[in-house]
Amino acid sequence: IAGDLAHLGIRRVGEFAVDESFFDGERNGPGFDQEAGDKSYLAPTGAVSLNWNTVAVYVSPGDRRGQRARAEAEPASDFLEVESRATTSGGSGRRRLVVSSIPHGERQRILVDGRIPAGSRVQAVWRKIDEPGLYLGHTLRRLLQLRGVQVTGRVRLAEVPQGARLVHVAESEALGEIVRRLNKTSNNFVAEQLLKTLGAEVKGTPGSWAKGIAAVEEFLAEAGVPRGAYVMKNGAGLNDTNRFSARQLVTL
């Protein structure tokens, strides 16, 4: 997106208004509350999202024993504050790293603790972020600056102003390919994004879990799986929130 905008001739951007109104404000669906933590498979939903609402943290040893380990985030973003407290141990030592992702005001703090042996390979760890819209906004802002675009304003969550001019549209892959990859990688985030999008398209904006489930119930009834014969609360099936019988799956 940053490259396309730069090629359109955009040289200056003021304030970033990130509009999340296509979805409601609920980040975590039913069933996700049964687990706490910052694991990537617990990533929140958001109408404006980036990188499955996760960040990759790459940790590598220092040049010699006792030095602070290096930690870098991908994608690099002003939304992220990365701090490494991990140290470099002797080459025969065992690796022990704890990477935490913590909400920090309008930013996300990435904290790395533990130790990593000298000479060892880079260790990659994925963690969720908590404010999807700000994550995308700050990251796009930085990427535009790297393209030579001057950005003077701040990033904030707000609805797009009336009369705004459309300059770029990003198209997704076909739904069939998205679903194939979702199932292949068991991607909870994509499942919940699709469910909320179904709700917005069929029942009207903002998309929500309740609207998405209602749209699915209508389809399942047409397929021969009646309402009330199963339990469905989220799109991913995380934990024990969704319950279907083997016969219902075969019917579908």
| Positive or negative torsion for Cα 155, 161, 164, 167 | positive
Backbone dihedral angles phi then psi of residue 55, each to the nearest 5 degrees: -135, 140
Nearest to 133 by CA among 97, 169, 210, 79: 79
Nearest to 130 by CA among 201, 32, 232: 32
Contacts of 80 (CB under 8 A, 6+ apart): 55, 73, 107, 108, 109, 110, 129
pLDDT one-digit tens code per residue, 167-187: 999 999 999 999 999 999 999
Confidence of residue 94 (pLDDT cuts 50, 70, 90): confident
Confidence of residue 95 (pLDDT cuts 50, 70, 90): confident
Say which range, 27-31, 64-68, 92-96, 234-238, has the weakest mean pLDDT: 92-96
C-beta of residue 48 within 8 angstroms of C-beta of residue 192:
no
Neighbours of 130 (CB within 10 A): 19
Confidence of residue 90 (pLDDT cuts 50, 70, 90): confident
Tokens 């706490």 correspond to 36
Tell me the whole-structure pTM to 2 decimals: 0.92
How, if at all, do strands 87-89 and 107-117 pair?
parallel
Confidence of residue 61 (pLDDT cuts 50, 70, 90): very high
